Amino acid sequence: MRTIKNLAYIRAGGVRLCVRDRGSGAAVVLLHGTTANLGVWDAVVERLGDGLRTIAVDQRGHGRSDKPAAGYGAADYCSDVLALVRALDCGPVVVAGHSLGARNAIVLGALHPEVVAGVVAVDYTPFVEPEVLGDLETRVRGGDRLFASEADIEDYLRARYPLMPVDAVRRRVTYGYVEDGAGFRALADPAAMVHTVRGLRTDFAEETRRITVPVTLLRGEHSKIVSASAYAATKALRPDFRAVELPGLDHYVPEESPGAVADEIARILKKE
């Protein structure tokens, strides 16, 4: 497996999580999306700097963290993050999550406001349509394949993520794939990814209704995950949330516009 610098492994409840813990001060926990890993936050972390404590996490089933055979619902993911915050004694934290991570951040904030100071939920909300999640499961299954070389992985990722900068694509290759005999495979566990997408079908509108900590919603203008109608329904459910639509972007906002995400995290922190 490729060596990545400055990673640590923390026992969080029933799983061992891989994290990159950087800086000092108020803590921000960073949760990636389905099939991704902690490396997607690198450019955001650089913009936030070392005056904050940033804790980027490989969530269960992903990256270099444990990959149990079961346990990929919201409660499982949130239990891991709760245990991590307690293990690191860093709460209350701002939780910034992308896609799957956004769902997990909102549910954690609703269930455990004592450890969550605020949430930045990037391009995932309630009311995502079933057909969107069906398409996502198809794409997730398509990523479970052997690649002949890292160049082949880059070609695949550029086709899949057309607006993603070249350096972000390369980070996905570096963090997310491992050489496996005749080629390279994703570190994200294939069965775990399917279970994760199926878990996203469970509605979390009630948790969104109940959450009391400050929440910012970010949506890429051209997102194929959060439709305009799903975004509008979420804003109608919680008109008090700060809601920002970012022009010219699609679903992968933290990698396409890391500065915008860092600015919104800083904004939440200033309100603490």
123 is catalytic: yes
The separation between CA 183 and the C-alpha centre of its own chain, rounded to angstroms, equals: 27
Annotated active-site residue in 79, 99, 223, 257: 99
Other CB atoms within a 10 A radius of the CB of residue 32 amount to 27
149 is catalytic: no
Annotated active-site residue in 42, 58, 80, 123: 123
| Residue 166 tokens, joined | 């070249």
- Tokens 């969104």 -> residue: 208
* Selection from 157, 193, 161 nearest residue 175 by Cα: 157
Rounded Cα distance between 207 and 108, Å, is 9
From residue 158, alpha-carbon distances to 7, 56, 161, 167 in Å are: 26, 24, 5, 11
Under 8 Å CB-to-CB from 26, ≥6 apart: which residues?
52, 53, 94, 117, 269, 272
Residue 39's H or E segment, with its range, is none
99 is catalytic: yes
From residue 173, alpha-carbon distances to 54, 70, 169, 170 in Å are: 22, 26, 7, 5
Residue 30's H or E segment, with its range, is strand 27-31
Catalytic site positions: 99, 123, 251
